[in-house]
Structure 1
Amino acid sequence: MGISTRNHSGGIAEVVVDAPPVNALTVSGWFELARAVQEAGRDPRTHVVVLRAEGRGFNAGVDIKEMQATTGHDALVGANRGCYAAFAAVYDCEVPVIAAVQGFCLGGGIGLVGNADVVVASDDAYFGLPEVDRGALGAATHLARLVPQHLMRAMVYTCRNVTAAELHAFGSVLEVVPRDRLREAALEVAAQIADKDPYVIRRAKESLNGIDPIDVKRSYRFEQGFTFELNLMGAGDRHRDTFVSEGAR
């Protein structure tokens, strides 16, 4: 369990998240994921990274139970910094990152997938930001890379989800496959990229990041400031306490 990396022949690095029951990561888990992705990308033998998860879903965001069980603001600040580090690690990874998504992809999961270069999903995958219901904000920056602007706003305000099929129609998900073919499909796409000249691919990643119209790291950090405001005003704790007391997990 935890975060593991497996290196395949041909230059494919597979970073796997396994944090039962729902892959909601603790503060240390987010930083561990950031390190794993960074290290994989810095390895000159790596041509491409596949980011995937074990279990029912890809990622359920931050571990709210850990946050509410921690006195003071250390866990809140740690989760914000950890998410920032993990999302940035995916975006800044020196090689393309393919996200393989099954089941739920919520909250922090959107940050990871939205910053990935390619997304492959299972036919039962769905994506959403429940942040407003949790008394928080964030990752709209990354959701805006997956869906059109007005849908992104509606999803933030209403906390509704969208399916992998909908994202495929928008072009943000490359392929939708049966769950039992997800890993295979992601590795197939990875193999196509890994077969290219690795120096050229690394420069392609750098150049594509350089022409992005939005600085995703600065944009996300701006969003995070409102989460701190909500917490200072008591809305954050109130909604997180409700979530924990309802036993939503």
Structure 2
Amino acid sequence: MGVSTSSQESGHGKDGVAVVTVDFPPVNALPVDGWFALADAVRGAGRDPRVRCVVLAAEGRGFNAGVDIKEIQAQGPSALVGANRGCYEAFSAVYDCEVPVVAAVQGFCLGGGVGLVGNADAIVASEDATFGLPELDRGALGAATHLARLVPQHLMRALYFTSRTATAAELHAHGSVWQVVPRAELLEAALELAGEIAAKDGELLRLAKAAINGIDPVDVHRSYRFEQGFTFEASTAGVADRIRDRFGKEADR
């Protein structure tokens, strides 16, 4: 359980690819330490001069279910602040990774999962993958910054306000998912794309990543940090606790 990093072996056509895998059973809802561990793993892989592309993957039923709500309920404000900072670090690590990041997404990709893939450079998804922000049903706000990188503005707003999800096929139609494959073929498809990217010159790839980030029309760091302020406001006003308590009771039924 946790976050692990592995490198592809020479001779498989995937030289220069590092795979960062998240595994927090049962649903990959990450605790505070998990978000920071993920950030460290992605940054570390990107700094490795032998790595020219990173694949972000996950074990289990779904890619990511966001933050660990039970941890926040048990520890209160300190856990909320920790989760906010941890998510910010993990999302930033993906965006600022020195080399391109390919997200391999299966099953549910919710909340913080959208923050991760929204900041990735490319997304390969399984046919059963769904993407959404159930934040309003969980007593939180945030990651609209990243959902807006996956779907058009009005669809982002409708998904956000309803807590509905979009399928991998729908995101593929919008151009934000590169490829949709059967679940059994997901990792291999992500590695195939990563291998094609990693075949480029490593120094030039790093320059290209920095250049593309530099012309991004939205400052994802400032935009997401702005959203997080409203998450904290909802918590201090008692709104978040009321909704999280209701969600917890429904989840335990």
TM-score for the superposition, normalised by structure 2: 0.97
12, 16, 40: which one pairs with 2:21? Answer: 16
> Structure 1 CA distance, aligned partners of 2:252 and 2:107?
16
Compared CA separation, residues 101 and 248, structure 1 to 2 (3 A) = farther
1:4 aligned onto 2:4: yes
What residue is the counterpart of 2:60 in the other structure? Answer: 55
Size of the alignment, in residue pairs? 248
1:248 Cα deviation after fit: 5.9
What is the one-letter code of the residue matched to 1:203?
Answer: L
Compared CA separation, residues 248 and 43, structure 1 to 2 (3 A) = farther
34-43 vs 2-11, which deviates more? 2-11
> Structure 1 CA distance, aligned partners of 2:108 and 2:249?
21
1:109 aligned onto 2:113: yes
- Aligned residues: percent identity? 71
1:147 aligned onto 2:124: no
TM-score for the superposition, normalised by structure 1: 0.98
3-state SS of the aligned residue for 1:13? strand
1:91 Cα deviation after fit: 0.1
Give 5+ residue unaligned stretches, structure 1. Answer: none
1:60 Cα deviation after fit: 0.1
- Pairwise mapping of residues 185-224 of structure 1 onto structure 2 (< 5 A)? 185-224=189-228
1:235 aligned onto 2:239: yes
What is the one-letter code of the residue matched to 1:62?
Answer: V
Give per-residue Cα distances to partners, 1:198-239, cap 9 Å, x unaligned: 111111100000000010010000000000111111111111
3-state SS of the aligned residue for 2:251? coil
3-state SS of the aligned residue for 1:120? strand
What residue is the counterpart of 1:34 in the other structure? Answer: 39
Give per-residue Cα distances to partners, 1:103-139, cap 9 Å, x unaligned: 0000000000000000000000000000011121100
Q: Name the Cα RMSD after superposition.
A: 0.9
1:24 Cα deviation after fit: 0.3
Give per-residue Cα distances to partners, 1:43-65, cap 9 Å, x unaligned: 11110000000000000000000
What residue is the counterpart of 2:82 in the other structure? Answer: 78
What is the one-letter code of the residue matched to 2:113?
Answer: G
Give 5+ residue unaligned stretches, structure 2. Answer: 10-14
What is the one-letter code of the residue matched to 1:204?
Answer: A
> Structure 2 CA distance, aligned partners of 1:134 and 1:50?
29
Give per-residue Cα distances to partners, 1:57-82, cap 9 Å, x unaligned: 00000000011011x41000000000
3-state SS of the aligned residue for 2:94? helix
What is the one-letter code of the residue matched to 1:142?
Answer: H
> Structure 2 CA distance, aligned partners of 1:145 and 1:159?
17
What is the one-letter code of the residue matched to 2:179?
Answer: E
What residue is the counterpart of 1:93 in the other structure? Answer: 97
Give per-residue Cα distances to partners, 1:85-118, cap 9 Å, x unaligned: 0000000000000000000000000000000000
3-state SS of the aligned residue for 1:172? coil
Moved >2 Å (runs of 4+): none
239-248 vs 57-66, which deviates more? 239-248
